[in-house]
Structure 1
Amino acid sequence: MPTVGLFNKEGQKVGDFELAEKVFGAEVNQDVLHQVVVALLANKRQGTQSAKTRAEVSGGGIKPWRQKGTGRARQGSIRSPQWIHGGIVFAPKPRSYRTSLPKSMRRVAMKSALSSKVIDNEMIVLESLELAAPKTKEIVSMLNAFEAKKALIVTAESNENVYKSGRNIEGVRVMPVNNINVYDLLKYDKLIITKEAVSKIEEVYA
């Protein structure tokens, strides 16, 4: 059973914390991680690009010159793609890039991402993370104590004080445990998570 240190927000170790083997001691599947990250990024795309085809460009309703006898190439419209201000060939249109992955694959990817954090010693479990009021200084102090420059801070519930304290710090993201995803886990160097949030993850994935 994987074991990590349990810390307070001042960076002092207060004990050890045992993690569920099925969630934090799973085999890291690189192929599934890659597929899930690609799908997550694809699902973020808006797909709102658009250009006009020759049918949609205004003008060009009349043949610019007669078919024969001018010595020039035959033309049917000044809005054909070869003309300046003409339509675009195979113009891009709004579309959805969304892809769906099996639930089992997403679970494997999440376990792989969490396990990789434990293996690489990039997971820090906090006894608690409570702030009386939004104080960026306190979060900066905590990050300095753990030598974390690029960190994902995860709380058990949506915590407005913690969120407001960390949102302006470059390279830091704060989110409740029910919003975590594989991409963010891999993107940030350190995962700073409360023990209550760990318990919620184990309830879902164990």
Structure 2
Amino acid sequence: MPSTTCCSSRALFRARRTASSRSERRSAMAADKASTGRRRPKESAAASPARTISAPLLGVSGQSSREATLDESVFGSDVKPHLVHEAVRADLNARRAGTQSAKSRGLVAGGRGKPWRQKGTGRARAGTIRAPQWVGGGVAFPPQPRGYAVKVNRKAYRSALRGALSSHASEGTLAVVDKSAFDEPSTKKAAAFIDAWGQELPVLLVATDDEVGLAKSFRNLERVVVVHPSEVEVAAILWARALLVSETALEAVQGRAS
């Protein structure tokens, strides 16, 4: 029979060895963590040149005469899909009138009396002829007038607007119309302008109230929509395959998105 002293000494030796191995592992882990967590000296990065974003400035012929400089903070932003989704949802919901309505059983005229007695006829029980299962009865759970407006924070909407404008600028589907191009209304010249530009329809044109000739020239064209700078929406920009901004309205659009 083994002695108790021998077993206890062996257990004590094992405990000491385990404790020492644990302390060694802890010290090794701490040293490894300290070595990996040490900050590296910052490398001197060369100053990147400022990026200039531009769009073609089109004359009355639809050809580019020179380049128009765009605001990089507006037309060079990143597209954030979740914010764009919120903005488009808010724009589309704002267009809904919300005037849908139907009459429930309590609003339909007539049907005050019980059509037949409760028992003895062999028919199903009925309390009114204006119940939803009756022809001429009310609607079960009828739609009622309501508002569909969805609130979007101002900063979030502006960020989505910058992303939509930047997508047109990066894809080359954005152009600026010379302010002296359409002094007089001419739908024929506007149609030739669109053909010479060569972009796909539909086209969204942003023009100010003072540019009457420009607005009248394009508003009669099929699949061309003319809007004021204050009415520019994310949903409309994404709907359009190409975006035209007048030289006068460019500053207002940039101010709305910044």
Same fold (TM over 0.5): yes
Question: Is it true that 1:200 corresponds to 2:233 in the alignment?
Answer: no
Query: d(CA) in 1 for partners of 2:110 and 2:257?
Result: 60
Query: d(CA) in 2 for partners of 1:79 and 1:204?
Result: 54
The correspondence of residues 39-50 of structure 1 with structure 2, limited to 5 A, is 39-50=90-101
Q: Aligned to 2:227, which of 163, 175, 191?
A: 175
Question: Is it true that 1:27 corresponds to 2:27 in the alignment?
Answer: no
Query: d(CA) in 1 for partners of 2:237 and 2:195?
Result: 20
Question: Is it true that 1:122 corresponds to 2:173 in the alignment?
Answer: yes
- Of residues 98-107 and 124-133 in structure 1, the stretch that sits farther from structure 2 once superposed is 124-133
Q: Deviations for 1:62-107, whole angstroms, at most 9, x for unmatched residues?
A: 1111111111111111111111111111111111111121101110
Task: Tell me how far 1:132 sits from its aligned partner.
Answer: 3.9
Task: Tell me how far 1:39 sits from its aligned partner.
Answer: 1.1
Tell me what 2:56 maps to. 5
Indicate conservation of the 8 Å contact 1:9/1:128, yes or no.
no
Task: Tell me how far 1:5 sits from its aligned partner.
Answer: 2.4
Indicate conservation of the 8 Å contact 1:48/1:94, yes or no.
yes
Q: Which amino acid aligns with 1:196?
A: T
Task: Tell me how far 1:164 sits from its aligned partner.
Answer: 2.2
Task: Tell me how far 1:158 sits from its aligned partner.
Answer: 4.3
- Of residues 170-179 and 196-205 in structure 1, the stretch that sits farther from structure 2 once superposed is 196-205
Query: d(CA) in 2 for partners of 1:65 and 1:203?
Result: 71
1:6 aligns to what SS in structure 2?
Answer: strand
Indicate conservation of the 8 Å contact 1:157/1:177, yes or no.
no
Tell me what 2:242 maps to. 190
1:163 aligns to what SS in structure 2?
Answer: helix
CA distance change for structure 1 residues 172 and 120 in 2, over 3 Å: closer, same or farther?
same
Instruction: Compute the TM-score of the two structures, normalised by the length of structure 2.
Output: 0.75
List runs of 5+ in structure 2 lacking aligned partners.
Answer: 1-51
Query: d(CA) in 1 for partners of 2:239 and 2:190?
Result: 19
CA distance change for structure 1 residues 119 and 132 in 2, over 3 Å: closer, same or farther?
closer
Aligned residues: 206
Q: Aligned to 1:64, which of 115, 140, 143?
A: 115
CA-atom RMSD, angstroms? 1.6
Task: Tell me how far 1:180 sits from its aligned partner.
Answer: 1.2
CA distance change for structure 1 residues 166 and 15 in 2, over 3 Å: closer, same or farther?
closer
List runs of 5+ in structure 1 lacking aligned partners.
Answer: none
Instruction: Compute the TM-score of the two structures, normalised by the length of structure 1.
Output: 0.93
CA distance change for structure 1 residues 37 and 158 in 2, over 3 Å: closer, same or farther?
farther
Query: Percentage identity across aligned positions?
Result: 35
The structure in which a higher percent of residues are helix is 2
- Of residues 106-115 and 127-136 in structure 1, the stretch that sits farther from structure 2 once superposed is 127-136
